[in-house]
Amino acid sequence: MAYSITPILRKDRINKRTEEFALVIRVTIDRKHAYCTIDKIRKEDWNFEKQEVRKSHPNHAILNTRITNGKATYQKIVNEIEVYYEGGDKIEEFRKRINRKSQSTDFFEFVQKLNEDLYTQRSYSTYKRYVSVINKFKGFYKKERLSIGEFKLELIRKFESHLISNLKNNQSTVTSNMKVLSFYLNQFYIEHEIDLIKSPFTHYSMKPEEFNPTFLEISEIKSIMNKSYTPMNPLNEVKKVFLFECFSGMRIGDILELKWENFHVGTKELHYIVRKTKKETIHPLNDLAFNILNIKLKNHKQDYGKIQKGKYIFGFLKKDITNLSKEEGLNAISSATALINRRLKKIAEEVNINKNLSTHVGRHTYATMLVSLGGNTHYVKDLLGHSSLKMTERYVSIVESSKRNTNNLWNSIFDKSNNIQHYGRKRKRAEESISND
């Protein structure tokens, strides 16, 4: 029996609107084909030579895992057919066995299997967030099984009402939760080769997430820069890590994980793997961010004599989290971040900043400043590590709103109905007084 198992893009299955091809595993037995769908991707996201999804695709790790698992599953079925099946049409027997394996329509069963992929391929924080949403949904549904036929628009709207009325979630949380639920359902439809147009989410309108970030003005940043602490004061290191976030835009988790081996002094760059996306990145540093690290490097050399490449640049993590489990690593970063946030409140109080200062304020400040200074949003997107341009463009609206508010300050100085009339009456009385003299 001659056979082959090959992942391919089907050129005869293309969505002309999105320019996505069907990604399938083609099983050929005695020159007859069967196609098992994995997903839909664009041509530029497929590595034809390696027969795998490129890292440019946001779900490349999950899709490549499905390809690997699918090839192993289909190889086992083909081996069974070759050894035990005595019928003539082997490809038809293959199709029957595949259908029997994928006949379960229980949504929760599918989610459990998908979560195994998420745990392996996504960051633990992302995995934990997705599982949290599913647990909310299970708590709302209160049944062990959910047939896909029962997953209708009415159920989605009832879950939304549950989030708002019973769990008191704000609109941003509700929208975020619904996006996660939509992700799971879409993956179910793709896995079972159901047209996505039939998904109840196609008739559900996602409400926009609220985006009102807290960020610092230049004068406020300077007030923190000018605040002096002794080297032994714990607020001194907190000040440095916060200012570094303001000047680099990096996420606090990535900053805390930076080691001296990631710092390339000659090129003024950081080379590291982004915790959230698992992607290797080269992050260029401006002079303000570079100087913070360069001064720390000089102090480090004085203390150790030479560079300890495996040591963390900012010393908030007491253990090397590469030796910890995903959960322990996330807990270590969360604890360090909570400690920094508590101390940032103290700094804000001491420099008279009346804002809820936290680590993420630094990242918002960096993005807002770049957009305010006319930075190209495409480059800002790359520097921030955003997955889509839409996330970056939110800061454009914030900047425009700030410009309007600044411009409107004139209204409080020269109010047309009161101040100008009052100024006119005062001037008239002064003129009358001069003429009488």
Structure confidence at residue 381 (pLDDT): 66
Cα–Cα distances (Å) from 67 to 72, 73, 150, 283, 370, in that order, read 9, 10, 29, 32, 41
Residue 211 in domain: no
**Per-residue pLDDT band at 388 (split at 50, 70, 90):** low
Crossing angle for the helix pair 107-121 and 60-84, to the nearest 10 degrees: 120
Minimum mean pLDDT among 48-57, 87-96, 322-331, 398-407: which range? 398-407
Query: Quick one: 26 and 88 in the same domain?
Result: yes
Structure confidence at residue 414 (pLDDT): 47
CATH number for the domain harbouring residue 128: 1.10.150.130
Domain assignment of residue 370, given as a range? 218-407
Kindly report whether the global pTM for this prediction surpasses the value 0.75: no
**Per-residue pLDDT band at 352 (split at 50, 70, 90):** very high
Structure confidence at residue 113 (pLDDT): 83
**Per-residue pLDDT band at 364 (split at 50, 70, 90):** confident
Structure confidence at residue 97 (pLDDT): 78
Query: Quick one: 126 and 260 in the same domain?
Result: no
Query: Quick one: 226 and 372 in the same domain?
Result: yes
The answer to whether 404 and 432 have CB atoms below 8 angstroms apart is no
pLDDT greater than 90 at residue 157: yes
Which helix (H) or strand (E) segment holds residue 35: the answer is: strand 32-42
- Count of structural domains within the chain: 3
**CA distance linking residue 311 with residue 304, whole number of Å:** 11
Query: Quick one: 190 and 226 in the same domain?
Result: no
Please tell me what DSSP assigns to residue 168: -
Which among 175, 203, 231 is the end of a domain? Answer: 203
pLDDT greater than 50 at residue 437: no
Residue 157 in domain: yes
pLDDT greater than 70 at residue 255: yes
Structure confidence at residue 433 (pLDDT): 43
Average pLDDT over residues 361-389: 72
* Tens-digit pLDDT profile for residues 394-427: 655 555 555 444 444 444 444 544 444 444 454 4
Structure confidence at residue 28 (pLDDT): 94
Average pLDDT over residues 223-227: 95
Residue 432 in domain: no
Average pLDDT over residues 85-107: 77
